[in-house]
């Protein structure tokens, strides 16, 4: 009988250690997610303030061009990428 109790105690001890590890990992993950969300929210506010500051009417001049004179042609290259899909409508004929 004593042997069976010792085996059950070891099993419960191992189970409680496993639960402790799982709970510790879950708490760490929750903390990481919380920090990432806070940093992202703070970054969005800082980005908005920076754009407002740089493009304010007293700082931004539309007449300034990256050219030596007004007649010089300025070539602009634009690259576009898709960031997010909102909705996909599928039509089957």
Exposure of 92 in the CB half-sphere (CA atoms within 13 A) = 0
CA 17 from chain center: how many Å?
A: 33
**pLDDT given at position 28:** 82
Q: Is the pLDDT of residue 14 over 90?
A: no
Average pLDDT, the chain: 78
Q: Which residues of 21-35 are buried (b: 16+ CB within 10 A; e: fewer)?
A: eeeeeeeeeeeeeee
Whole-model pTM: value is 0.35
CA 55, CA 62: separation in Å to the nearest integer?
10
pLDDT tens digits, 47-69 = 888 989 988 888 888 888 888 88
Share of the chain above pLDDT 70, in %: 78
Question: Cβ(25)–Cβ(17) under 8 Å?
Answer: no
């Amino acid at each position: 009988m004593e042997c069976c109790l010792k085996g059950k105690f070891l099993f419960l001890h191992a189970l409680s250690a496993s639960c402790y590890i799982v709970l510790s990992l879950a708490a760490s993950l929750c903390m990481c997610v919380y920090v990432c969300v806070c940093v992202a929210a703070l970054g969005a506010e800082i980005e908005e303030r920076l754009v407002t500051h740089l493009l304010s009417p007293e700082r931004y001049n539309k007449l300034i061009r990256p050219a030596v004179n007004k007649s010089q042609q300025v070539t602009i290259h634009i690259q576009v990428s898709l960031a997010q899909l909102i909705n996909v409508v599928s039509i089957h004929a």
